[in-house]
Structure 1
Amino acid sequence: MSFAEKTFLGSLMKAEYLLKDTVVQPEQLESTRHQELMRRMVELKRAGKNIDVITMTTLPDLESFGGISYLMGLLSCADVEKFDGTEKLILDLWKEREKRNILSVAAMNDWEIAKVIAELDKINQMKMEDHTSLHQALADIYEAPWEDQATMKNATTGINKLDEVTGGFQGGEVTILAARPSMGKTDVMLHFAKMTGWGGFLPLVFSLEMPEKLITSRLIASTGGFNRRKLRDPKGLLTQNQKDKWSDVIGDLSDTNIQIFDGAGQTIAEMRAKTRKMMHQFPNKKPILFIDYLTLIHSNQFYSGNSHLQVTEISKSLKTMAKDFDCPVICLAQLNRSVESRANKRPMMSDIRESGSVEQDADVILFLYREAYYEKDSTDRSLEIIVSKNRNGPVGTVRVNYNEHTGRLENQNEQSLNVV
């Protein structure tokens, strides 16, 4: 019999309030005797009775649990001070047993890899460290008015005015970046990925449509200021000056530590597993996730082709993932064609495909708009980043300079923030 389980049950009898606090369920104990004992404790507590050793001795089937001597033995193992550690150990052992069960069932029934990963992921999502007393929370924030804010808390967008509005990308928050095709969504995403990488974060790019080679060449073009077309044949088309810059550009990009996953039809469960793996590989860096794009994420269920339900599930899963890993998640989204039929083609919330749940779950929603895309004669080469939803701050429009040939974004010098 597991000594950890004896310590656990003994502590419950010694300090009854722990039964209300514990996240361990009776079925997560290995010993069936211990499972039954804990179930009896839960029943007694529900009936408003104590679960101390005296009350437990009144159980009608006490002998089947080993009698009074067994209860006294449990009590002697109690260690209330180390209860948290004991609880964690029991959950870890349960996870290991569950993992083995899932793998054997999966082998017998020939499950697909995605299903195995999803089931394993469910176990891993059992977590205990989500509790903060208000007392502790207030103690943490007490000195805030006199302290400099830690610079690493949030990831910079690399666009000064956008950082002012949103406070940068924040842990646990989902940002949706939405636009019509050819507006520059991927370029903006890669700009964010580079800037957060140089800022000390670990950017994980899940590209469900564009292959890794194309992403890499886009990163090189925007960083070096090279025309994208030239990268189809760098040897023949790059100037000598550009070739001289090449190794510096490669070196700079290498410092971002960007990780690219370009498998089509990835599920949230697979992204979670890959994120965890990267967190182990880079223990000192906080991940920041970029997903291109929303409706290409594979759902765990089919919903009989109901794309609204599918997007709702995915949208909620993105938020859960951001919270569980306490990291920012930036997800690209396509807009409906309805934009094109309006005189003012700046996007609105209703233009997001299956917008309801996305609008609700996202913390920040950014739209992109380029006048030059619609007005070919326009001399305005800027890109508008429209902050349409901002849970923790104002909304408004930020303008940046955008070179559609290189994919490069730059801050505009003049006051370009229009906050409402």
Structure 2
Amino acid sequence: MSAPTPLANIDAELSLVGSLLYENKLGEQLAYVSAEYFYDGFLSRVWEASMDLISRGDVADPVSVVEALGEGGEERGILARLVADATPGSAKTHADIVVNAARLRQVAGIADDLRQAARSGADAFNLIANAERDFARLVQEAAPASTNLIDARSSVHMTLDEIDREAVQGRARGAMTGLRCFDRRLRGLRPGWLVVVAGRPSMGKTALARAAAFGCAQRTKHQVVFFALEMARRELDERTLSQMSHMAGDGIAYKDMNGDTLDASDRARLRDLAHKVPTNFIIDDSPILSVDYVRRRVLALKQRGPVAAVFIDYLQIMDRPDAKGRNEASVIGEMTKGLKQLAREAETCVVLLSQINRGVESRDDKRPQLSDLRESGAIEQDANAVLFPYREVYYLERSEPTERGKRAAWEEQCALMHRRMDVLAAKVRQGSVGKDEQVYYAEYDHIEDAPEDGQ
């Protein structure tokens, strides 16, 4: 059986090297050609040495290249013949042939690895996920240079067209949620944005995210996805029904959502409310969640139609990439970078929930700050906006005074702050930081805007 023909064009590689040595000015035009794209090992080393000499402002010719490589007279003669036969006018064509052949070898390599792993009995789901990741990387690397390039004049005209559409529609381009901390502060859930909602436990992160997701699904025809790692689907459903019952005027606490507590009339009322739950509100309660999994699911949903927003609860309990030899910050940074890239790729807004470190608890002022995120990798750097939900009553209730004379004032303060949630916007790209006050009906998992002055 004859060996398979190598995925390479040696004639194109020879001609390309000869052209570069003949005309060093081609180096700038051919900078996209990497030495690793050459199938022939000697030509690969020659290309690398030549480009290195040219980048330093030196001349790359048969003599200087052979000297740089430490080769002998025979190699110098080979390169001299290539220069003599050079056709610089065809350099770009030959470069594209070399690059394309290299891409085909990469594709074949992935296919070979897949075949070998499949025959070894590997897990099919992980095999597909890894293959998709590898091919996605190749797609990004192999995309024509013109794919993401646009001249500045055309770009600003496109932006002005978007502004005109926003003016006609009377709203910002982001998806609305019904909550001031997102709609006014951020101008909605904006495509391409990574919004981080971070805080200590019991601050209402999940409640705020679920309320925003539900409100967004009510206000758009596009899909809104909620990845619920911390809660099972039924828990989310109970909170959704509880919120809707409270909004309808006769609330049923989500803790009472069970057959032993609800009578027939309550169940019938909830059944009626269930018909009003938006069908574009998509829940995924998979117990194992990775960035690759989220990406696959979101891009699959995007094939059905636009995805307005993606909510993930929460970062620290997601499945991690391989952390061998790396610190926590590096691993978390890889995850947030991947989610930011997904937001742009899927033209959606990713709302990522995150815990913050315990340093908050040791301070007199418990309000979180951006510095509380800095030990968690590149969260702050990758995020377009960072929101901190903060409930002062949580700390008030745990600081009951021992002196009897102070108890009345403490009880009054607890009652005053009982339903208050402040959402602290610590970072807003192209916007202003600040605080938005929300009303939090914890027993119904319902959050709404607090009345503003004059209302």
- TM-score of Structure 1 vs Structure 2, range by shorter chain: 0.7 to 0.9
Q: CA deviation at 1:101?
A: 2.6
**Residue aligning to 1:406:** 444
**Residue aligning to 1:378:** 415
Provide the rounded CA distance (Å) in 2 between the counterparts of 1:331 and 1:305: 23
User: Partner amino acid for 1:121?
Assistant: R
**Residue aligning to 1:278:** 301
**Residue aligning to 1:366:** 387
User: Partner amino acid for 1:124?
Assistant: A
8 Å CA contact 1:206–1:291 kept in 2: the answer is yes
Distance 1:173 1:88, change over 3 A: farther
Provide the rounded CA distance (Å) in 2 between the counterparts of 1:297 and 1:146: 40
Provide the rounded CA distance (Å) in 2 between the counterparts of 1:205 and 1:268: 14
8 Å CA contact 2:191–2:347 kept in 1: the answer is yes
Q: CA deviation at 1:201?
A: 3.1
SS of the counterpart of 1:291? strand
**Residue aligning to 2:258:** 232
Alignment: residue pair count: 395
**Residue aligning to 1:313:** 334
Matching of residue 104 in structure 1 with residue 122 in structure 2: no
SS of the counterpart of 1:347? coil
For structure 1, which runs of at least 5 residues remain unmatched after alignment?
50-59
Provide the rounded CA distance (Å) in 2 between the counterparts of 1:182 and 1:389: 22
8 Å CA contact 2:114–2:131 kept in 1: the answer is no
Q: CA deviation at 1:121?
A: 0.8
8 Å CA contact 2:193–2:384 kept in 1: the answer is yes
Q: CA deviation at 1:242?
A: 6.0
**Residue aligning to 1:133:** 151
**Residue aligning to 1:175:** 195
> Which of residues 206, 211, 219 is equivalent to 1:186?
206
Distance 1:176 1:389, change over 3 A: same
Matches within 5 A, 1:10-159: 20=29, 97=108, 99-108=110-119, 111=122, 113-114=125-126, 117-126=129-138, 127=140, 128=143, 129-142=147-160, 148-149=166-167, 151=171, 153-159=173-179
8 Å CA contact 1:117–1:269 kept in 2: the answer is yes
Larger Rg: 2
**Residue aligning to 2:427:** 389
Matching of residue 207 in structure 1 with residue 210 in structure 2: no
Distance 1:350 1:165, change over 3 A: same
Distance 1:143 1:319, change over 3 A: closer
Provide the rounded CA distance (Å) in 2 between the counterparts of 1:24 and 1:288: 38
Provide the rounded CA distance (Å) in 2 between the counterparts of 1:106 and 1:185: 41
CA deviations over 1:164-185 (Å, ceiling 9, x no partner): 2211122222111112212211
Q: TM-score, normalised by structure 1?
A: 0.73
CA deviations over 1:266-297 (Å, ceiling 9, x no partner): 221222122222222x2x21252211111112
Q: CA deviation at 1:410?
A: 1.4
**Residue aligning to 1:260:** 284
For structure 2, which runs of at least 5 residues remain unmatched after alignment?
14-18, 20-24, 60-76, 247-251, 398-413
User: Partner amino acid for 1:230?
Assistant: D
Q: CA deviation at 1:405?
A: 0.4
Q: CA deviation at 1:239?
A: 6.7
Matching of residue 337 in structure 1 with residue 358 in structure 2: yes
Provide the rounded CA distance (Å) in 2 between the counterparts of 1:389 and 1:317: 20
CA deviations over 1:54-78 (Å, ceiling 9, x no partner): xxxxxx989xx9xx9xx99xx8xx9
Distance 1:45 1:354, change over 3 A: closer
CA deviations over 1:38-60 (Å, ceiling 9, x no partner): 999999999989xxxxxxxxxx9
Provide the rounded CA distance (Å) in 2 between the counterparts of 1:89 and 1:196: 44
Distance 1:345 1:47, change over 3 A: closer
User: Partner amino acid for 1:344?
Assistant: D
SS of the counterpart of 2:257? helix
Matching of residue 243 in structure 1 with residue 281 in structure 2: no
Q: CA deviation at 1:373?
A: 2.2
Q: TM-score, normalised by structure 2?
A: 0.68
Provide the rounded CA distance (Å) in 1 between the counterparts of 2:172 and 2:307: 9
Distance 1:304 1:145, change over 3 A: closer
The root-mean-square deviation of aligned C-alpha atoms, in Å, is 4.7
Identity of aligned residues (%): 22
8 Å CA contact 2:228–2:283 kept in 1: the answer is no
User: Partner amino acid for 1:252?
Assistant: V
8 Å CA contact 1:212–1:261 kept in 2: the answer is yes
CA deviations over 1:140-195 (Å, ceiling 9, x no partner): 13456765446583122321353222111222221111122122111111112212
> Which of residues 347, 367, 371 is equivalent to 1:326?
347
SS of the counterpart of 2:364? coil
User: Partner amino acid for 1:382?
Assistant: R
Provide the rounded CA distance (Å) in 1 between the counterparts of 2:189 and 2:31: 34
Distance 1:24 1:159, change over 3 A: farther
When structure 1 is superposed on structure 2, of 304-313 and 208-217 the one drifting more is 304-313
Q: CA deviation at 1:244?
A: 2.4
SS of the counterpart of 1:405? helix
Q: CA deviation at 1:305?
A: 7.7
